[in-house]
Structure 1
Amino acid sequence: MTSSSFYPIGTPGTPWGPVEVVAWRARQSRKRSYADEVLGRVDALRAHFDIAEYGRLDYAPESYPLYAVRSRDWNDTLPTMLVTGGVHGYETSGVHGALQFLERDASRYAGRINLLCVPCVSPWGYERIHRWNPDALDPNRNFREHSPAQESAALWGLLAPLRGQVRMHIDLHETTDSDESEFRPALAARDGKPFEPGTIPDGFYLCADSARPEPDFQQAVIAAVARVTHIAPADPDGTIIGSPVVAHGVIEYDCRRLGLCAGITDAHYRTTTEVYPDSPRATPAQCNDAQAAAVCAAIDYALAHP
């Protein structure tokens, strides 16, 4: 089955050029407000954290400030824990789970860790509920030096001085039904490849980094989240989204080779969460709770296993 069966832009078998990207961008519309839903909550954290603008996305006529939330009393003798959300802007609980963690849970780690959190890496995508940026680039395939994706390049620049100092990095994501109905067909069309239908896992799972999988760390996060929402079972062929399940609720990717956010530092412990917000067994609040629980479990494990 070809991508033309599902996606209205481009010629089957031919990768997109600038004309197709412009046509795709024209189909995207602003559906929610980064300023109201994200920046307002970040600003409210100033009483307890240092807030820094680490970059700005210039997508004329729009411009988006990018903010990082840092421990106020940064101490180089303490372990550094990194939390990122909204790399894919449409993955709502990645953004709001990170904010919820900052608002409700982060205070209990004061004086014990250096916390650095970027709640929304991709605000243009957040507003349009989309995976890509305006150039039809996926930020989570472009975390590398001299990245063509502004979102990825800005975060790379922020983290470059800390790359060897981060003990734990957790990157908060979702897998949604729209992955199969919109984003994978669009990807196939963009790249001039056939669209091959897949499956959407019902439940939470983790993507470990195959370069440093740390299975006990992954299972500690899974155990914490299982108290909040259900863990995705493997498909009959033993995979989740086509990748072999290596442990309960865990698959692996080569994060650095693929340009994924979880591979951006040399963190000893690193993982990517995947919440399923479209499940009839999960509510939006439950999804946010699952993300926050995953962050706490990841920090707790990294503190207990230096």
Structure 2
Amino acid sequence: MRLPVRRSAYAAAVAALVANVLIVLTGALVRLTGSGLGCPTWPSCTDDSFVTTPEMGVHGVVEFGNRVLGIVVGLITLALVVAVARHRDRPPKALPLAVGVLVGVGLQGLIGGLSVRRALAPEIVAVHFLVSTVLVAALVVLVDLLGRPDAVLRAPADLRLRIGLAAMPVALAGVLVLGTLVTGSGPHAGDEDARRFGFDPAEVAAFHVLFVVVLLGLQVGAAIVLRTPAAFAAVALSITQGVIGSVQEALALPVPLVAAHVVTAALVVAATTHLTVRAFRV
């Protein structure tokens, strides 16, 4: 019985990871289609209806659809916790991590509701996205724990590699935070009347690009030393993310490219976390 239970826990972790990346994309589409207030209140869609109504139009469908997906993500994460709890030979940190992700998903629902009640305040929208990236990173760690239960924690022997790997999360955090500041200062607010940060997007974008270059440099350095698929994947995704960002800026932020930029940001988080975990768990 133990092997199927282990497989179900691993499969549930992968499903939760995919679901949390997917909701990053649908959340971006809510904002990019101007549907952020498609349901003008929370937790119901309108004062008179829990679900969207024909009067809310397409924007109501988009926003309510994202809320439904949020519930699905919560159910998948709950199933993950149950599957990990049933796995008696689980790694010691697996269950607390799964429970933490479930709490985080619940917190995301509250943050999303707060963003609606505060008319898409950019700081709340930014936190909403950043928490999603933390959940993605945590799920990557959990997938590795369940997929390689016999791996042991051991720091790389190369001091330069250890320093680079330690700096990588800091650079990644800088990329993400500055990215939310750029987004919160530009168009695509989710509603035409939503408040913006008020920063100069070009100036903030310059710092954002600087952190992207630093992150990419650290990833390339790690790839040269490790020469692993995880390292090469992180480099490839960061380059892809940078190219998409440059092209979207040159083309005045078309919706498809902005959506691609957001979802690849989540993939960069996953790949960078995977690279780091693989380097320290051997």
TM norm structure 2:
0.34
Question: Greater Rg, structure 1 or structure 2?
Answer: 2
- Higher helix share goes to which structure? 2
TM norm structure 1:
0.32
